[in-house]
Structure 1
Amino acid sequence: MNNKYLNFITDEHLLECIANLLNAYLRAKNNITKKSFYNNKVDTIKLTFDAKFNDIDEESLIQAEILRQIDKSINNSIGTFHEQILGGIEGFEVGKLSGFDIKAKDNTLFADIKNKHNTMNSSSAESLFQKLARYADTYKQSKCYWVQILAKGSFNEKWSGEINGKEYSHSRVYKISGDQFYATLTGNEEAFLQLYKVLPLAIKEYLDTIEKNGELAQNSALDEIKTEIEMSNRSILDQISFENYNYYLGFDKL
């Protein structure tokens, strides 16, 4: 494989994965309207402390809070990016809502991918172990992995221990860090590092090929709030508090 970027997936596949992630960013940005920003109720008490203790003006503070909501949405898309990258390695494929994220085409490997090591509670961990054990029991030649792309160490080891008060162990159920999983699928110990190093160039060159005619539209939440305060003469935080909590005692007088 004679590629410009990586030797374990085609250039076209890498650029397609980058394009998919860009689209996820655009959707996340464009989806943050005032209505969606208010969906989970904005904690204006916390924002008041943030503004005063960190000496941040209200507009910058709300923009940062909006970006935090976008970031929360994007985290899931980053996990999908890794699934798509790994699914482009010869001999492997993406699960496509089949109960696994990545599998070997010959059914010798199944994996569930989490972007960060701390994204599961004990019930989710128990459910995941049971699912991987079922795959291992069904496909006797398979190894089944809980993949932590961003882990607290570099490891590839049997996943065993107590979860929700029950002892779990299986001879072919493993937990593995992102670097080790990339190495397992590619046969290249530095595959994850190579992806990291090539991304700035690949992203730049992809962005250079697309038109930027408004495609990178920004969220509208802050503009909508600012339009409201032009009429109400409230501060930004008072406007958000009024719109989120006007049913609270006295808040209708803000």
Structure 2
Amino acid sequence: MAHKYVNFISDEHLLNCIGNLHKAYLKAKNNVSKKSFYTNKVDSIKLTFDAKFNDINEDDLIQSEILRQIDKSINNSIGTFHEQILGGIEGYEVGNLSGFDIRAVDNTLFADIKNKHNTMNSSSAEALFQKLARYADDHKKAKCYWVQILAKGSFNEHWKGEINGKEYGYRRVYHMNIV
């Protein structure tokens, strides 16, 4: 296994992940145009206020919205990139729509990964906590993580607190931020 770039995955795997991300960038740029813009759901009231309050003409406004849609697709692809990178570490695998993003093949770790652009409302946070707690219940040796990539500070702590008026805490459920 060659390690020219990083020491935890092969160079071949890293370059394959980067290649997949590049394809996602190209696809996102090719899938959104002025013509397809009008077929997507667009908040026309917001766009009207944006145009008037920010003194933006219609063509520039549409172009900025197209770029926003491309950026949203790219952010999703960056999340997939993170999963693919981590899934290439020996002993770990990508969840592939199985309810987790990454797991240790021996079921000692489950992780849900969010990048800094993915904000969660309280209902999403509650559902994620409950999901991770179920994995911990089902796999007695597992540690389960909500991992935020590129958050404002690094930490790794038990995830506990009040969500939607209910108190949550579980000894093998963690919240981790990685800068």
Question: TM (normalized to structure 1)?
Answer: 0.64
**Contact kept? 1:117, 1:152, Cα under 8 Å:** no
Normalized per residue, the structure richer in strand is 2
Tell me which moved more, 64-73 or 149-158. 64-73
Q: Aligned partners of 2:41 and 2:53: how far apart in 1?
A: 19
Deviates more, 1:154-163 or 1:32-41: 32-41
Which letter does structure 1 place at the counterpart of 2:14?
L
Separation of aligned partners in 2, 1:103 and 1:178: 18
* Structure 2 Cα separation of the partners of residues 58 and 123 of structure 1: 36
Q: Which moved more, 1:60-69 or 1:124-133?
A: 60-69
3-state SS, counterpart of residue 175 of structure 1: strand
State the AA in 2 paired with 1:163. Answer: I
What are the equivalent positions in structure 2 for 1:207-218 lying under 5 Å apart? none
Deviations 1:3-33 (A, max 9, x none): 2211111111111111111111112111113
Structure index of larger Rg? 1
Task: Let me know the Cα RMSD of the aligned residues.
Answer: 1.8
The within-5 A match list for 1:86-101 is 86-101=86-101
In structure 1, give the amino acid aligned to 2:169.
S
How far, CA to CA, are the matches of 1:24 and 1:123 in structure 2? Answer: 29
The 8 Å contact of residues 153 and 178 in structure 2, kept in 1 or not, is answered as no
**What one-letter code is carried by the residue in structure 2 that aligns with 1:97?**
L
Asked if the contact 1:157–1:174 (Cα under 8 Å) also holds between the matched residues in 2, the reply is yes
- Highest RCO, 1 vs 2 (Cα 8 Å, sep ≥ 6): 1
Does the aligned pair in 2 maintain the 1:93–1:105 contact within 8 Å?
Answer: yes
- Give the alignment partner of residue 52 of structure 2, picking from 48, 55, 62: 48
1:1-254 map, 5 Å: 1-38=1-38, 39-41=40-42, 42=44, 43-50=47-54, 52=55, 59-116=59-116, 119-179=119-179
Select the structure that is richer in helix. Answer: 1
Name the CA shift for 1:162/1:118 in 2 (closer, same or farther; >3 Å).
Answer: farther
